[in-house]
């Protein structure tokens, strides 16, 4: 991904860079891609490790001015009203992933 700074009439415009993270998607991907790491107290940390590794890579590569993480809501949204079966056939989320999703907000 390349970030181009805008130019107006041969003048560079100073812009800030914002990176938006789909935190739920990244956590889910890391949870299934990495081993079952855990803290010394036994708390699951594999997905959290994956998110931190990805975040560090993004910071190093893009050097954003701002980063914001977006999370799915725990309750139904307008998508469920529009389509009753939205995410309806998915298996229950693993408890260790739920724990890490909650922890990732810290």
Give the pLDDT score at 75: 84
pTM (two decimals): 0.77
Domain ranges of the chain: 22-74+83-104
Enumerate the H helices of the chain as residue ranges: 23-33, 46-62, 78-82, 95-104
Q: Estimate to the nearest angstrom the gap between the alpha carbon of 40 and the chain centroid.
A: 25
Q: Quick check: 34 and 47 in contact, CB under 8 A?
A: yes
One DSSP character per residue, 43-55 reads -B-HHHHHHHHHH
Q: Which two tokens stand for residue 71?
A: 């999370």
Between CA 45 and CA 22 the distance in angstroms is 18
pLDDT at 11 over 80: no
Model pLDDT for residues 1-10, shown as the tens digit of each residue = 666 666 677 7
């Amino acid at each position: 991904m390349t970030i181009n700074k805008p130019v107006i009439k041969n003048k560079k415009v100073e812009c800030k860079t914002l990176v938006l993270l789909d935190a739920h998607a990244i956590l889910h991907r890391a949870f299934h891609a990495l081993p079952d790491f855990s803290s010394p107290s036994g708390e699951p940390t594999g997905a959290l490790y994956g998110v931190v590794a990805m975040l560090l890579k993004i910071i190093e590569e893009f050097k954003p001015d701002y980063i914001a993480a977006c999370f799915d809501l725990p309750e139904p949204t307008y998508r469920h009203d529009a389509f009753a079966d939205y995410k309806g056939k998915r298996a229950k989320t693993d408890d260790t992933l739920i724990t890490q999703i909650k922890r990732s907000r810290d």
